Structure 1
């Protein structure tokens, strides 16, 4: 009996000891002082001095304060930058583990989605993980908590790693297409959310009544829209030839019968075939017809417009396009639909649809991008001199900038007349009118 009591006491002590140790370390004055010391070093970016003291606190009492992890991330990132070889690899492993511990001890400060995103990005940047490991982290983060998956680089990496696995024969092509649609939808959702923010301040910006905080918020929102635009282009480029007609048609032919009543499958298949100009194949007709039968909608009417467009029946196509716009009730979706129609046209027609899109979403960056491209594409046919023709790029850049597309605006500015050209022309400050289809004017920048 005495032996049983002793065993029970020993077992209880074994279970309770770690809890007491955790409680005790938080009361340890020496560790609290060291927390303060390494925090001061870290705030001053003196990471070398901070490292050994931080390491001691992190090892002995990870629950002491979340600053151990917040500053620990900066400290280890500094070590990574300044090391190489095996030492660098070890610091990468340490940082990956730190993210796990951060989420475990302070999930309210670093949630599981953000933990996986940071780990995946680190593994990719430092070549500390395989394509499969990186993809698994991002796939879990995206599928379990898509709403909080907002990192632009991680969105691209998620899709890029899947393509890499497909190229190795480890993922099916259908998975790539599904992920492409999911990522594209997520990018559009984020752009819509940012558009809501931007639209709130457009009138104040026009009136010049924005305060500094509002201006920063507006500028930051536009920069993020520009980032998402870049990511969307990169995702499209990564999909590349995988989504050409040669791959799409056999895949969708194989899966059509099983999905001919599946609205989402039909919508996505029709969208992909339309985007990749596979509309001449009889399969497109079957898919679009089924879609319009299963769920008559703005989307199905739009694809019937595309079909008639391709068959040379422009008047019928316009009829379906207008029907599509009328059927759509959501302002953002209506704006997006008008952009899709604009992308099927060029020059004046494209600009016309893009301008209509702006009436439903005044900050639709895609509308400004289409207008900028349309103006730039007409540079050679507008103006009577080389200078005037190149001046069209100022108009294109101006339009891009209105949509917050700074990178695109910079590309067009580089094609416009230089300061030397302006000086030699003697046109600084004067207005150039474009008498081609553009029908607008631009003021030559003053030197």
Structure 2
């Protein structure tokens, strides 16, 4: 009899507990739907009581509680609520875009002046370590600025490493958008984009442009401290410990190259070690530059071919070809840049390099001021093309410079030509453009 009594009691308790749970779950769903409706209709104050209930009683119901909750905190200026939302999301949905969430939390604190630089740095540091590629573009730059401020004197290597990781993440994002643009831009030119594709193209251009600005900001900051005078002693000191570390060598060689430190014997030492450690296309291309500098033109050409043949990614093939172009001048430089564009038609930096070659030849490709200034029209056209196909390439400043040097209306009038008429540019450029 006692056993039957215990059994019945257990069944009753099981049913009662599960009934309470079901009722609580039902209440959570009701509150959640009311909450969603209010947020959708921008009734943020009305949504707050249900949000409070959800945060307290059903915090793991849906990640949308936190996504929509951010909008409530933002629009009501409730900083305490924002803290609960960001920290609650990281607690209950730790695998749902944690890098971006940390970054957004830091951005909220920065925008609303809620924390010290050290507190904001701590949150951004977590985001960066979780994956810089998944951070918002502004937060990547803000984090790097804080790293520079914090370590530029005490630990410059920390600054260099952070810069490398940040730039690599930005470049990875840019490459992703470049691949999207390669599909969408030809459709735009053919007039076959549908409405969905137009939105994708616009998003790719906007995001690519933002990334380009961040890349420029990173370069601007690193240029303040990454001088040959500072790099050479650091890399000389750390070479032995890293002479088989492919990542360290790649970053060291790239920075020495970008800062124009190739004349120092250390550059050749780094390039050779990089090639030995990785046997990569990128490494062989640096070695080709060393061979050419030492007068071995045939060896350099063979090494470049080896690097190019080894690479399989068309975007990286384009980058290798452009690097080769940057070591050439005039028609040879243009031909190599055009080859790069065969592998990546949306490679804005290749167009910009051609534009720079034109600009450098302005004084020698015309017999009078008008003809010389028309060379800037050809350069401007290439820069505008770069901006259109690759918004992240940083074409803006080139466009501004070239546009400032095209023929004025007065000069066009004095020359006696009509605006909109064709003009053939001579010398090696050999291009026909329109008079402004």
Residue 107 of structure 2, aligned match among 104, 109, 121: 121
Report what 1:234 is aligned to.
217
Any idea what the Cα deviations from partners look like across 1:261-288, whole Å, max 9, x if unmatched? 3232222211111111111222222222
Alignment check: 8 A CA contact 1:100 1:115 kept? no
Counterpart CA distance in 1 for 2:158 and 2:342 is 36
Taking a change above 3 Å as real, the CA distance of residues 397 and 257 of structure 1, as seen in their structure-2 partners, is: closer
In the alignment, structure 1 residue 371 sits paired with structure 2 residue 377: no
Counterpart Cα distance in 2 of 1:418 and 1:102 = 58
Q: SS at 1:351's partner residue?
A: helix
Counterpart position of 1:75: 72
> Partners of 1:285 and 1:102 in 2: how far apart?
50
Pair 1:104-2:104 in alignment: no
Q: 1:6-21 maps to which residues of 2 (within 5 A)?
A: none
| Partner deviation per Cα, 1:83-141 (whole Å, 9 max, x = no partner) | xxxxxxxx445323311213434567x53222111112222323333334333333333
Give 1:374 deviation, angstroms. Answer: 3.6
Q: For residues 103 and 259 of structure 1, do their structure 2 counterparts lie closer, same or farther at Cα, with a shift above 3 Å needed?
A: closer
Which of these residues, 413, 436, 443, is aligned with residue 434 of structure 2? 443
1:213 corresponds, among 185, 190, 196, to 196
2:141 to 150, 156, 159: 156
Structure 2 unaligned blocks of 5 or more:
1-12
TM-score relative to the length of structure 1: 0.78
Offset at residue 251 of structure 1 (A): 0.5
Count of residue pairs the alignment pairs up: 414
Aligned to 2:127: 141
- Confirm or deny: 8 A CA contact 1:325 1:337 kept in the other structure: yes
Q: Secondary structure at the match of 1:243?
A: coil
1:45-86 C-alpha deviation (Å, 9 max, x unpaired): 454565567556656665566554333322322234xxxxxx
Distance 1:168 1:410 in 2: 31
User: Given the alignment, which residue of 340, 344, 349 partners 1:357?
Assistant: 340
* Greater relative contact order (CA < 8 Å, ≥ 6 in sequence): 2
Equivalent positions of 1:183-198 (< 5 A) are: 183-198=166-181
Partner of 2:395: 408
Q: Does 1:330 align with 2:327?
A: no
**C-alpha offsets along residues 283-340 of structure 1, whole Å, 9 cap, x if unaligned?**
2222223333444442333223333455576666555444432343332222122233
Q: Structure 1: where are the runs of 5+ without partners? A: 1-12, 81-90
Deviation at 1:431, TM superposition (A): 1.7
Note if 1:43 corresponds to 2:30: no
Matches of 2:410 and 2:196, distance apart in 1:
39
Q: Secondary structure at the match of 2:312?
A: coil
Q: Alignment RMSD, CA only?
A: 3.7
Q: Give the distance between the partners of 2:81 and 2:420, measured in 1 at CA.
A: 59
> Where does 1:330-349 land on structure 2 (aligned, <5 Å)?
330-349=313-332
Deviation at 1:252, TM superposition (A): 0.8
- Offset from partner CA, 1:387-430 (integer Å, 9 cap, x none): 63553454244322342338735862653669966996763332
TM-score, scaled to structure 2: 0.79
Q: Is the 8 A contact 1:267 1:291 kept in 2?
A: yes
Q: 1:208 to 1:269 in 2, by over 3 A?
A: same
* 2-structure distance, mates of 1:417, 1:282: 43
Secondary structure of 1:242's partner?
coil
